[in-house]
Amino acid sequence: MFANLLIILTASLVVIALFRRLRLPAVLGYLCVGLLIGPNAFNWVNHSADLPHLAELGVVFLLFTLGLEFSLPRMLALRHVVFALGGLQVLVSTAVLGGLLFWFGLPLAVALVLGAGLALSSTAIVSRELSSLGEIFSRHGQNAIGVLLFQDLVAVLLLTLLPALTADSSGVWYVELGLTLGKAVLLFIGLLLASRWVLPRLFHEVAAARSPELFVTLALVIVLLTAWLTHVLGLSMALGAFLAGMLLGESHYRHQIEADIRPFRDILLGLFFVSVGMLIDLQQFATEGWLILAVTLGLMLIKGSVVALLVKLRGADNQTAWRSGLALAQGGEFCFALMAQIEQAQLLPGPQAKLLLAATFCSMALTPLLLRAAPALAARLQRAPNRELQLDAISQATTQVQGHVVICGYGRVGQSIGRFLRLEQQEFIALDDDPIRVQEATAGEDHVHYGDSSRTDLLLAVGMLRARLLVVAVDKTDIALHIVKQARSLHRHLPILVRTRDDSQQAELLAAGASEVVPELLESSLMLASHALVMLGVPEPRVQGHIDRVRRSRYKLLHGYYHGAHNNLLDAQGRARLLMHAVTLSADAHACGQNLPALALEQLGLEVQGVRRDGMELALDASTYLSAGDAVLLAGPLEAIEAGEARLLGGLR
């Protein structure tokens, strides 16, 4: 077992690092690891009975953390999705898939049970991907999670009913079904009582001890104890973990629990996906590749269409319908366990079982890629067919608006600006390219429109030529730069205010036509510094003078910072961050006896922030000659600082 784990973790380390560089989902990487190191490929890992149980804990931890996000009131609000949509999806998909299997020659009972297994989707993959994409609480995300919860219940029932198909079945199926439902109700009541009166006191005592390891231990015990209880009752461990997390979701310890559980969850969930990949015969893809592809596409088309149709019939829009169908179109991990039991009972021929397993695996592998491509596809579909219609509608809605503010990007910053404009009764029109955000905003506001802010026709449609101010509040500086160029080409005198994360591209934005560039991080630093000075008794006019001078100098005082051991030296765009570093001159340093202009440090991309001698600041001009013991404070990228230090100390060019 130890050797198996070592091989799995080492292979995962290499493959996941490669997938990250290729911007591919980690889930797909784990599946490929299992496919390659399993007994049907390189055979590096021996079969072990402990690995599937260890891997199943990954799903348990995933469902527990997902339950933390869904409190009991939220779940009660989703009851129509869970039971109505979930029930219809399972029934219709089972009927269609079971009918096809029966048509291909399987016995009716086996075809229906196997069709029900194929009707279930992958809780692990869908939950993980929706969480990583931030779509758990979107409409299609809630549809998917609600249906998956009902499917977990069905999975338990199917495993309960499966023995009734075998010759040695000793129980009556409806008696077993009643017992299973009774156990589920008993478990829910027990967990509800524990979450109300026992667990809060335990967490309070552990938190009072201020021991991080005790808190982590308690969180692990809760997850494992819940899984063990549901296993003893003959229920799904993942379902029990979800219920426990859901009931703890109202606790104010929820975020700490989630942070403590996450490392264990991610590692064990990776083992789960590896174990799924190990079940697949790689040679089968060479001999039956086209057949596997046909079955995979057929399965995903049937399931996706059924879900999309049901969601549409419930009154949802087209985008929510097809994205819900896309999220639930794959086969699930439960299908592997179900087919293994059916094959052991000799109810399904081996070749057919392998074909269905391979198709299920392929559908699971395709799902992360499809879910990640869905937002871009949704944006294209939303604007492509109705582009002219959309422009006409926006133009008609804004034709009477004069002297307004146009906000490009209606995220956190854009919404904050809008609230202040609303306080002053100043009209504004906002554009955003996130369809879900626009959908949420338009439910309570009538001045938010969907669209790409860099499109000149859209800027004209929102009346930019009649506006008093353009505010660019998008997250990415490259997009902001493009918007500024387009806007300035349309209106030469319109004031343009740009929000950025930092000032790394401030000069480019100003050159493109921005009137003011506000670096968010630097402005927050200014606000904190000004409050600190006022609280220390410095007169407010003096503090305001400091702030004004820093702004006039384009935040020169704030350039760079001392990096620590854990700082990333690259920003979100992969560019080198501006750092600060003090170089203390030794007696034989090259810079001793020279002035700053002679050293030409600016040619290296450096800015000299200051020179200190015996605790005193020296003037930064040609009159100051450096001497031993001086500390020269440099600001710039890491490579430039290293070059500057080499020049100051050794005279290297």
Q: Are 403 and 466 spatial neighbours (Cβ–Cβ below 8 Å)?
A: yes
pLDDT at residue 183, as a whole number:
79
**566 has a pLDDT exceeding 60:** no
Asked if pLDDT for residue 447 goes beyond 90, the answer is no
Position 307 scores a pLDDT of: 92
Higher pLDDT, 514 or 207: 514
* Confidence band of 329 (pLDDT split at 50, 70, 90): very high
Q: Contact at 8 Å (CB) between 432 and 448? A: yes
- What is the per-residue pLDDT for 571? 52
User: In this predicted structure, what is the pLDDT of residue 281?
Assistant: 79
- Lowest-confidence region among 392-401, 479-488, 639-648: 392-401
Coil, helix or strand for 124?
Answer: helix
Instruction: For residue 301, report the phi and psi dihedrals to the nearest 5 degrees.
Output: -65, -45
> What's the pLDDT tens digit per position in 593-630?
888 888 888 888 888 888 888 878 888 888 888 988 88
Q: What percent of the chain has pLDDT over 90?
A: 10
Looking at the whole model, is its pTM more than 0.85? no
- Per DSSP, the residues of 250-296 read TSTTHHHHHHHHHHHHHHHHHHHHHHHHTTS-HHHHHHHHHHHHHHH
Return the pLDDT at 80.
79
Q: What is the model's pLDDT at position 565?
A: 41
Which of 37, 63, 21, 2 has the alpha carbon at shortest distance from 274? 37
- Domain ranges in the chain are 2-279+292-381, 397-514, 521-558, 579-650
Residue 524, strand partner residues: none
Q: What is the mean pLDDT of residues 57-81?
A: 71
| Candidate from 197-211, 409-423, 551-565 with smallest mean pLDDT | 551-565
Kindly report, residue by residue over 354-413, the tens digit of the pLDDT. Answer: 888 889 889 988 888 888 888 777 666 655 445 555 677 777 777 788 889 999 988 888
- Distances in whole angstroms, Cα of residue 477 to Cα of each of 423, 501, 520, 536, 554: 28, 8, 12, 36, 17
Residue 195 to residue 168: CA distance in whole angstroms: 41
CA Rg value for the chain: 31
CA triple 408-412-417, angle to 5 deg: 60
Tokens 């399972």 locate to 90
For 492-520, write each residue's pLDDT tens digit.
Answer: 889 999 988 877 777 888 889 999 888 87
Q: Which residue has the higher pLDDT, 562 or 251?
A: 251
Q: Over range 280-287, report the average pLDDT.
A: 82
User: What is the CATH T-level fold of the domain 579-650, as seen in this structure?
Assistant: Alpha-Beta Plaits (3.30.70)
DSSP 570: B
User: Would you call 638 exposed, middle or buried from its count of C-beta atoms within 10 A (0-12, 13-18, 19+)?
Assistant: middle
In this structure, the chain runs to a length of 653
Contact yes or no for 408/474 (Cβ under 8 A): yes
Q: Is the pLDDT of residue 301 over 90?
A: yes
CATH code for the structural domain at 397-514: 3.40.50.720
Cα 350 to Cα 343: distance, rounded to the nearest angstrom: 7
Q: 2-279+292-381 and 397-514 share one CATH topology?
A: no
Confidence at residue 444, expressed as pLDDT on a 0 to 100 scale = 59
Mean pLDDT computed over every residue of the chain: 79
Q: pLDDT for 53-62, tens place per residue?
A: 666 777 777 6
CATH topology of domain 2-279+292-381: Na+/H+ antiporter like fold (1.20.1530)
Give Cα 126 distance to the centre of its chain: 12
| One-letter identity of residue 359 | A
Nearest to residue 502, comparing CAs of 523, 530, 488? 523
Q: Which amino acid is at 599?
A: L
pLDDT tens-digit map of 145-180: 888 888 877 776 776 566 555 544 455 656 766 777
